[in-house]
Amino acid sequence: MTVAQQPTALNFECETGNYHTFCPISCVSWLYQKIEDSFFLVIGTKTCGYFLQNAMGVMIFAEPRYAMAELEEGDISAKLNDYEELKRLCLQIKRDRNPSVIVWIGTCTTEIIKMDLEGMAPKLEGEIGIPIVTARANGLDYAFTQGEDTVLAAMVHKCPKKGVEQEKEERNPISKLLNFGRKKEEVTESESEYVDHTPLVLFGSLPDPVATNLTLELKQQGVKISGWLPAKRYTELPVIEEGYYVAGVNPFLSRTATTLMRRRKCKLIGAPFPIGPDGTRLWIEKICSVLGIKPKGLAEREEKIWASMEDYLQLIRGKSVFFMGDNLLEVSLARFLARCGMTILEVGIPYMDKRYQKAELDLLGKTCEEMGVPIPTIVEKPDNYNQIQRIYELKPDLVITGMAHANPLEARGINTKWSVEFTFAQMHGFTNARDILELVTRPLRRNNNIKDLGWYKLVQEGAMV
């Protein structure tokens, strides 16, 4: 009889399952709120409109800055003039809203009928006088979070270059007026807080408080952020030049990273993502090391955050978790939960870019070794039928899954948590790590409360239905 040896390195497998995930056009729900002077026009069928209504809710008191351009049978059979119809809609948007940018979101239908959105956009933006960004955020992607990746990659081409930006500022009388009378000492004093380094641009859509928090964390180390992509306003997109450093804040932005490197010749800082105290510390440390800055006080800061979360850690330490795969945040969350003392049974993920997530993968393996827990298998494009059989066999304490499988698993006595909740949670940086554990422990705390009330045992014995 031989004892099965635990794997000593990450094991990658690939199955051939379907993608059980939202459509990437759902990225509109958070991007239109992030880019305040934008308008998103989704070009698709009524099905796309129904999805957006259900996914984003109905806003009664505030009209959101997005709309559907619904394709009818005449459009799909190419009997109507697409250009004239889109021009009419964009002129109406300009008249009613006057946004700084209109973002065209392509769908599966525009792909199938080969609608040339990229060809029409430059001509039309010249006619209406508003920039148009074209993004193919269709259901052919692996995960719904990649919709943001597509939009940001398209916006990279709209980021100004230094010469153009300086010329624009010199011609802008308002900018001259605002700078008039400013003392040089004020500028020198504010700049003295930073170390002189190559410009750094961060990319990834985060709520304003979280983005401000990360900016201040880096400021304490003397790192100056030259800009965020996306910016709060389209007119404030960062200047991006050849040789600039860029760093991502989310694991699903590989297309944006590739575009920044290939099209703008930027240097990507490969680091674990700022999710959890461990990831945040290493993210800041890697940025500092690349910029030639010696970080200070990060280890103490991380230790303090861990100490403040001890009440949550006691609930999950020693328990097991299984990721079915949904939003491409799985590896980062698995690494953080492994550091919390959980055993990661499996990491399912719709798509794995091993180059962009290399630092995160390395840290996951290292963390499991340091915590003395088995190194998990990473299953790309998992087959959900096979996964459910493995869940029955492994009996995890918690399954993090897409919404489609949560209720069926719960009905079989398996604790679940919707992965989409992590997508919309504020969980980046030191101060938001507690929010991740609040989500993770909620189903476990709920069951503990039920047991305390004495119902759980009665239900298990069949005394109650």
Q: Distance from CA of residue 47 to its chain's centroid?
A: 25
Q: How many residues does the chain have?
A: 465
Q: Distance from CA of residue 255 to its chain's centroid?
A: 12
Q: Which residue has the higher pLDDT, 85 or 191?
A: 85
Handedness of CA 58, 60, 64, 70 (dihedral sign): positive
Q: Identify the pLDDT of residue 338.
A: 97
pLDDT band of residue 57 (cuts 50, 70, 90) is low
- CATH topology identical between 24-141 and 308-461: yes
DSSP-based three-state secondary structure for 294: coil
Highest mean pLDDT among 158-162, 343-347, 407-411: 343-347
Q: How far apart are the first and last CA of the chain?
A: 45
Predicted confidence (pLDDT) per residue in 147-206, tens digit: 999 999 999 999 998 865 554 544 455 545 545 555 544 444 455 678 899 999 999 999
* CATH number of the structural domain 194-298: 3.40.50.1980
Establish whether the linkage from the previous residue to 230 is cis, with ω within 30° of 0. yes
Predicted confidence (pLDDT) per residue in 101-120, tens digit: 999 999 988 888 888 899 99
When the candidates are 3.40.50.1000, 3.40.50.1980, 3.40.50.2000, 2.20.25.240, the CATH number that belongs to 308-461 is 3.40.50.1980
Predicted confidence (pLDDT) per residue in 314-334, tens digit: 999 999 999 999 999 999 999
CATH fold for the domain made of 24-141: Rossmann fold (3.40.50)
Q: How would you label 209-230 residue by residue, b for 16+ Cβ within 10 Å and e otherwise? A: ebbebbeebbeebbbbbbbbbb
Q: Identify the pLDDT of residue 141.
A: 86
Burial of 91 (0-12, 13-18, 19+ CB in 10 A): middle
Phi/psi of residue 235, nearest 5 degrees: -70, -10
Please give the DSSP secondary-structure letter assigned to residue 250: S
Q: Identify the pLDDT of residue 293.
A: 95
Q: Tell me the average pLDDT across 216-223.
A: 95
Distance, CA of 230 to CA of 428 (rounded, Å): 16
Q: What percent of the chain has pLDDT over 90?
A: 68
Mean pLDDT for the chain overall = 87
Burial of 325 (0-12, 13-18, 19+ CB in 10 A): buried
Q: Identify the pLDDT of residue 50.
A: 84
Q: Identify the pLDDT of residue 452.
A: 56
Distance, CA of 121 to CA of 116 (rounded, Å): 9
| Per-domain residue ranges of the chain | 24-141, 194-298, 308-461
Q: Identify the pLDDT of residue 337.
A: 97
